[in-house]
Chains A and B, each alone.
Chain A
Amino acid sequence: MKKMRPDEISAIIKSKFPQVTEEAGTNYIIVPKESILEVSQYIKNPPLALDNLHCITGIDRKEKIEVVYTLYSIGEHHGVTLKVNLTLEDLNVASVSAIWKSANWLEREVYDLFGVIFSGHPDLRRILNPYDWQGYPLRKNYSNPDFIAKPRM
């Protein structure tokens, strides 16, 4: 089967869900946080068959936090990147761990390092830092008395 190009994939998703948009200049699909569950259920089934959730990344953009989902399909040899923007006052998004089991630990890591709460997650605890750690280390405004910063060039 011919491999689908990224713009073909985003065209299929946009035609089914008109509320998603595309980031300018790239093929990353920005999904509003209310529709992440239904978009995920749709793209897991054929024809897109994106059955492999490879990586969930959190990015602290100072006024918002982005959650980036990188997905691939083992049968169809194509991939797509979804993004969800969350404001600092409302760091809540639905968990996709019922759809892709790999999201279980990946979402725990984003919670541990950024403080994003994934509602519906079976076991949302810290995973890399000790369970009683205070603060979210990978945020840009994190400070800690033990943290010695290297002087910049």
Chain B
Amino acid sequence: MDATQTKDMYTEEFLINMGPQHPSTHGVLSLELKLDGETIRGCTPHIGYLHRSMEKIAENRTFTQFIPFTDRLDYVASMNNNLGYVMAVEKLLNLEISERAKYIRVIIAELNRIASHLIATGTFAQDLGAFATPLFYCFREREKIVEIFDQICGNRLTYNYMRIGGVMADLSGEIIEKIKEFIEYMRPKIDDYDELITYNVIFLARSKHIGVLSKEMAINYSVTGPNLRGSGVKWDLRKDEPYLVYDKLEFDVPVGENGDAWDRYKVRIEEMRQSLRIIEQAIESLPQGDVTVKVGRVHKPSVSETYFRTENPRGELGFYIVGDGSVYPYRLKIRSPSFSNLAVLPELVKDIKVADIVCVLGSFDVLMGEIDR
């Protein structure tokens, strides 16, 4: 019964706060919803509940001292953040790294992409009502990846592994064997997810045709990553502006058709399969050599500025660094993918129900740590 059908009843819209502490907002995000019954008429996101002033911190830390802070940006894909930052600094300093370091960086970044997409899948399915089973399956797989990372660099979540000029430590033969075993273990598990979740009748009913994002709107709002590819735009920085050794490796870029929540989810599942392909090829072609070039502890770039972007699991992460001749950066701006991805949310939630906004938000896979920095 909507407002137009009432003859004697007086209805009006009311504001409700899907506040910062909520089990399904993937962090501290506050959504102010204007509701007409159960239908949403307007939505205003309020962010900043996790604003840790990282850009101000960067102006008082040397380039190497800032690497642990980049871990805490997108805390689920820490290796990719580290990678984006050190590559931006290496571009500023015009530094070339060894081939072995490039291949190791690709292997580690793709492993972390799989770990990040596992969390996205698990929490998305949990938000839609499949309460714990997909989440526990995904975390079981993620534990295997995190164990490998634990053995490489000593930490489970905030790795601080990449360095300016290479990586922190080499991958021993034992770790490479473990990664090969993981690839063989993971392939059938992704087919399990397809069987369990992807073509499930309830999942399809809840996520098909919800939150449709058109191509033009996605490009205009600078949406990037699987969200852009779910809308049908075939754009992936690893193929279109390749960095490291991605131009020597063969992989496909999955693209969705309609731009709804199900397409974005399906793109992530396919990307996990492609990441396994990339890791296999990179391990086969791993050359011998040093993993780091000899650089000093502090770096003094000349007075110059640069901007570099990499493909994170959530989109394109960009770093704008201004050097002024001293060991501290003059200005470091972090362009996070989830910031621009979240800006398009108010456009997609007109006239849907409250339960569907949870679906749209989950399919966008935003992370508050990198939105608020």
- A and B found bound together: yes
Asked if A42 is an interface residue, CB under 8 A from chain B, the answer is no
Residues 13-57 (chain B) with a chain A CB within 8 angstroms: 47-48, 51, 53, 55-56
B343 within 8 A of A: yes
Cβ contacts A99-115/B at 8 Å (1 or 0 each): 01110111000000100
**Shortest distance between the CB of B78 and any CB in chain A (Å):** 21
Could you say which of B102-110, B151-159, B177-185, B215-223 contacts chain A? B215-223
- Residue contact B222 to A54, C-beta cutoff 8 Å: yes
Return the contact of A54 from the options B309, B327, B372 (Cβ within 8 A): B309
| B-contacting residues, A54-79, CB 8 Å | 54-55, 57-60, 68, 70, 74, 77
* Residue of A54, A59, A60, A130 touching B335 (CB-CB under 8 A): A54
Known contacts A59-B322, A74-B233, A129-B51; A53 and B222 CB within 8 A of each other: yes
Judged by a CB distance under 8 angstroms, whether A128 is at the interface is yes
B201-229 residues at the A interface, CB under 8 angstroms: 217, 219-222
**CB-based nearest A residue for B342:** A105
Number of interchain pairs (Cβ within 8 Å): 78
Residue of A nearest to B339 (CB): A105
- List the A residue with the shortest CB-CB distance to B44: A123
A137–B53 touching, CB < 8 Å: yes
Question: In the complex, what residue of chain A is closest to B219 when comparing beta carbons?
Answer: A51
Bound Cα distance from A126 to B48, whole angstroms: 9
Contact status A129-B48, CB under 8 Å: yes
* Contact between B219 and A57, CB atoms less than 8 A apart: no
Contact partner of A101 among B221, B318, B333, B372, CB < 8 A? B221
Q: Chain B residues near A55: list those with CB within 8 A.
A: 307, 318, 320, 333, 335
- State which of A81, A101, A130, A153 has its C-beta within 8 Å of the C-beta of B62: A153
Interface membership of B71, Cβ < 8 A: no
A86 contacts chain B at the CB level, 8 A cutoff = no
B241 within 8 A of A: yes
1/0 per residue, CB under 8 A from B, across A115-130: the answer is 0000000000011111
Contact A59 B331 (CB under 8 A): yes
* Chain B residue, CB-CB nearest to A28: B305
> For the complex, is B240 an interface residue (Cβ under 8 Å from A)?
yes
Distance to closest chain A CB from B46 (angstroms): 9
Chain B interface mostly? mixed
| A54-B241 CB under 8 A given contacts A60-B331, A152-B60 | no
**Complex contacts, B304 vs chain A, CB 8 Å:** 26
In whole angstroms, what is the CA distance A77 to B236 when docked?
11
| Contacting pair B60 A150 (CB below 8 A) | yes
CB neighbours of A74 from chain B (8 A) = 219, 233, 235
Contact A70–B307 (Cβ < 8 Å): yes
Interface contact B55-A138, CB-CB below 8 Å: yes
Q: How far is the CA of A57 from the CA of B331 in the complex (A)?
A: 9
Residue A1 at the chain B interface, CB threshold 8 Å: no
CA distance A60 to B56 in the complex (A): 12
Q: Report chain A residues within 8 Å CB of B333.
A: 55, 57-58
Most buried by B among A55, A59, A153: A55
CB neighbours of B318 from chain A (8 A): 54-55, 70
- Shortest Cβ distance from residue B318 to the other chain A in the assembled complex, whole angstroms: 5
Please name the residue on chain B nearest to A152 by beta carbon.
Answer: B60
Would you list 12 pairs from A and B whose C-beta atoms are within 8 A, ordered by A residue?
A52-B222, A58-B333, A59-B331, A70-B335, A74-B235, A102-B340, A113-B55, A127-B47, A138-B55, A152-B60, A153-B62, A153-B327
